[in-house]
Structure 1
Amino acid sequence: MASVAARIASATPAGRDRGVDALRALAILGVVAGHWLVTTWVHGPGGEVHISSPLAYLPALTPLSWVFQTLAVFFFVGGYAAARSLRSATGYRAWVRARLGRLLGPVVPLALVWTGIAAGMALHGMPYRTVRALVLPAVGPLWFLAAFAALSAATPLLLRVRPAAVAGPAFAVVLVVDALRFGGAGPEWLKWVNLAAGWLVPYALGVGWAGGALASRRAAAALLAGGAAGAAALVAGFGYPASMVGVTGAEVSNLGPPTLAVVCFGIAQVGLALLVREPLARLMRRPRLWAVVAVANLGAMTIFLWHQTALTVTVLAALRFGDVPGLLAPPTDSVWPLHRLAWLPVFAALLGAVWLLRLAGRRFNDRVS
């Protein structure tokens, strides 16, 4: 392990911003761990399986959503990386093709796998609601990838204006949509405008950061304090859910699509990310830590897209065994989190296998071409 870590460290360019890579790895880790901890299924009447959430039964676990809901950091670092790479690119079209190719490459295998699994479940007589309950979480990351890909394609436009001129109006759009949505004055579809506007806020801040904005600790601290205060005020005074992830059965979700509360929370996370980047960069000088982060970044999109598949396939294999603790048993008691934690190595092993297969396929394609 030490020799591998040393080779990775020696192969890393001297100018590489390891703090940014560490932030991306932490964002991916937060998304994966959060989904693995708060997504569960229960048996219902007639043999059907329904998706559930431990947060619906154990509200004391709600603070976990504040730790593991790191999508804003993912979009923030994505905006930064896209702006940096575009500045050194030879042309917009070639840059877009290459970047979208990297983003969307793992999508086709995921779609084919789950089309086959869904067809197999249906052919074996599995109830439609069970099929739906298993498939939707597995392909759920595609929603966020679509928003991320659209923002990536729009990066050249974002580079032409100041980040505040983009992030500010996007924030205002989320505010107006929420006001209409919760005030009963807008159509139901209007809320989906926030899927783009909500994630545009951290993405635009990342683009601005790449251009030299947000360089001072004062700006970072202002984002952290202002975002946290806004999120707290919305939860305490305006009825927004305290959970920063969706809770099955809840009337309102902060994440599907993003609400003003989760956007404020994301702004706070951006401020925190800016404050910890330099300490993280210093930590990344340790070869073993850097090796882990470098490997995670190498397969970031594969990990993001396939992590729910690792969980769902495990649950699918356990269906025949009834109420399996930590997988299919109702998450109604304090022991459930311990059962779920015991399953995490299984999910991680399956995800690691997918990553290795993806890496092997990439090497094979390189040799053929």
Structure 2
Amino acid sequence: MGAHSKGGTRSPVPAAAPVPVPDAGPEPGGPPRALPSRSRTGRRDRYFDTLRAVALVRVVTYHTFGWAWCGMVFPSMGIMFGLAGSLMARSLERPARTVLRSRLRRLLVPFWFWGLFVVLAMLVHGWLPGRQVVYWVVPLGDPPGDAWAEQVWEVLWYLRTYLWFVLLSPGLLWLFRRAPVPVLLLSLAPVSVLAFLWSPPDGRLGSALWDLSTYLFCWILGFAHHDGVLRRIRPAAVVTFSLAALGYGGWYALAHRAEFGTYDLDEIPLAQAYWSAGFGTLLMWAKAYFRIDFARLARLPRTDRLVAVFNARAMTIYLWHEIALVLAVPLIDRLWDVPAFERYLPLDSQWFLFGIGWILIAVFVLLCGWVEDVAARKRPRLLPAPPTPPEPRARRPAGRTA
């Protein structure tokens, strides 16, 4: 299995919650009322949590099989940035300094823990770091690494991009609330400028500019969902924009297939930006307009529990999944030495590799997931607490009916 760029890498439920309070439009003389990501009881939004879980599964699938069409079926990184943007807007209802400190702690502590093992492995392998090793402390740029471990550390582009979006969010949210729809639409302009008018420099700066511009719309789309902007836009306008963005992104990827050597969206930033914009807009608008909350997921306790684990351990799964896939290869090689395994197990199948990879991911979740609890200043646990049980519905008192 070779290393992939971007893709899900190059690329971080509870029980029946009451339906989130829908947006009632802007209050006179005040900002638009937010559509909360949690109910008033504090229960998480299963719709968003399910999207995040599906995005993580798609990331692992892409890095196992390398299917170029994965990004068109579900643009996982665009969806994850959109969800993160919505949660960031909700968090910024508190003082920005407090929010930034909390977000940085939740990002950097798991990154430092994971990086300790990766850096030590590269040093043992003979890697000699230079001054740019500082990016292993704060990933404002791509951390340097040995080519031997590239498949493992290349996933850090997502953390670097997420970190920059977090730092820029107070200013971006202030700008967005001055003119929501124009700012949202204009957020597609930077990637178009980079694609047609100005080529950024190579290296860390160029990579950061490409990734920020590619997913800027998705991040601000999260603001639009949180502030209730999407629900106030006419359905025809939303659907028209989404289909146009999807059409342009898909056409550009296929029309420039020869130039990029693939139609994989993760290799074509402009196509990725427009496809993710159209796909994400439909998903977030549908949630706001139809008030989708996936509350019925509580009727499937095991699935509900799995979605909860995926969300509470999203950073662990994302950081450690490539290490799991790398380790799965020599592990399967050892199985060939056992005649019974060689005869009865599909050891040469990518699907078998996929299954072993998920087993190892589960092991890493158990061994390392507690770091996310520490980063969130919670009591460390092998697995997160189970979803909150549903509240029983109040029974109508006997007697007269209305």
TM-score by length of 1: 0.72
Per the alignment, residue 30 of structure 2 pairs with: none
Question: Which of 343, 361, 375 is 1:351 aligned to?
Answer: 361
Question: Which of 79, 90, 101 is 2:85 aligned to?
Answer: 79
Question: Which of 23, 29, 38 is 2:57 aligned to?
Answer: 29
Contact 2:16 2:297 in 1 (8 A): no
Contact 2:79 2:280 in 1 (8 A): yes
Please give the alpha-carbon distance, in whole angstroms, between the structure 2 residues aligned to 1:367 and 1:17.
23
Shift of 1:337: 12
Per the alignment, residue 227 of structure 1 pairs with: 245
> Which 5+ residue runs of structure 1 have no aligned equivalent?
1-6, 39-60, 124-130, 247-252, 323-335
The residue type equivalent to 1:9 in the other structure is A
For the pair shown, which has the larger CA radius of gyration, 1 or 2? Answer: 2
Report the RMSD for the aligned CA atoms in angstroms: 3.3
Contact 2:64 2:353 in 1 (8 A): no
Please give the alpha-carbon distance, in whole angstroms, between the structure 1 residues aligned to 2:334 and 2:242.
47
CA shift digits 1:46-97 (9 cap, x unpaired): xxxxxxxxxxxxxxx532342254100000010001101221x2x2111111
CA shift digits 1:119-171 (9 cap, x unpaired): 33349xxxxxxx94541121122111111111112222122123444443432
The 3-state SS of whatever aligns with 2:229 is coil
Per the alignment, residue 43 of structure 1 pairs with: none
Per the alignment, residue 3 of structure 2 pairs with: none
Please give the alpha-carbon distance, in whole angstroms, between the structure 1 residues aligned to 2:378 and 2:162.
26
The residue type equivalent to 1:286 in the other structure is R
CA shift digits 1:224-251 (9 cap, x unpaired): 30221111331344556553355xxxxx
Written as runs of structure 1 = structure 2, the 5 A alignment for 1:85-96 is: 85-87=91-93, 89=94, 91-96=95-100
Per the alignment, residue 171 of structure 1 pairs with: 188
Shift of 1:283: 4.1
CA shift digits 1:278-306 (9 cap, x unpaired): 55624434342322211111111111111
Per the alignment, residue 44 of structure 1 pairs with: none
The alpha-carbon distance between structure 1 residues 15 and 302, as it changes in their structure 2 partners (threshold 3 A), is closer
Shift of 1:360: 4.1
Please give the alpha-carbon distance, in whole angstroms, between the structure 2 residues aligned to 1:70 and 1:337.
29
The 3-state SS of whatever aligns with 2:60 is helix
> Which 5+ residue runs of structure 2 have no aligned equivalent?
1-12, 18-38, 128-144, 337-345, 381-402
Q: Determine whether 1:244 maps to 2:259.
A: no
Question: Which of 266, 279, 284 is 2:297 aligned to?
Answer: 284
The alpha-carbon distance between structure 1 residues 110 and 209, as it changes in their structure 2 partners (threshold 3 A), is same
Contact 2:14 2:298 in 1 (8 A): no
Please give the alpha-carbon distance, in whole angstroms, between the structure 1 residues aligned to 2:157 and 2:172.
22
Please give the alpha-carbon distance, in whole angstroms, between the structure 2 residues aligned to 1:360 and 1:186.
39
The alpha-carbon distance between structure 1 residues 201 and 137, as it changes in their structure 2 partners (threshold 3 A), is same
Please give the alpha-carbon distance, in whole angstroms, between the structure 1 residues aligned to 2:161 and 2:216.
9
The alpha-carbon distance between structure 1 residues 176 and 344, as it changes in their structure 2 partners (threshold 3 A), is same
Q: Which structure has more helix as a fraction of its residues?
A: 1
The alpha-carbon distance between structure 1 residues 281 and 229, as it changes in their structure 2 partners (threshold 3 A), is same
The residue type equivalent to 2:86 in the other structure is Y
Q: Determine whether 1:111 maps to 2:115.
A: yes
Contact 2:315 2:372 in 1 (8 A): no
Written as runs of structure 1 = structure 2, the 5 A alignment for 1:1-369 is: 8-9=14-15, 13=41, 16-38=44-66, 61-87=67-93, 89=94, 91-122=95-126, 132-162=146-176, 163-180=180-197, 187-188=201-202, 191-192=206-207, 193-215=209-231, 216=233, 217-238=235-256, 241=260, 243-246=263-266, 253-254=267-268, 259-274=269-284, 277=287, 278-279=291-292, 281-288=294-301, 289-315=303-329, 339-360=349-370
The alpha-carbon distance between structure 1 residues 367 and 63, as it changes in their structure 2 partners (threshold 3 A), is closer
The residue type equivalent to 1:26 in the other structure is V
Shift of 1:316: 5.3
Total equivalences in the alignment: 305
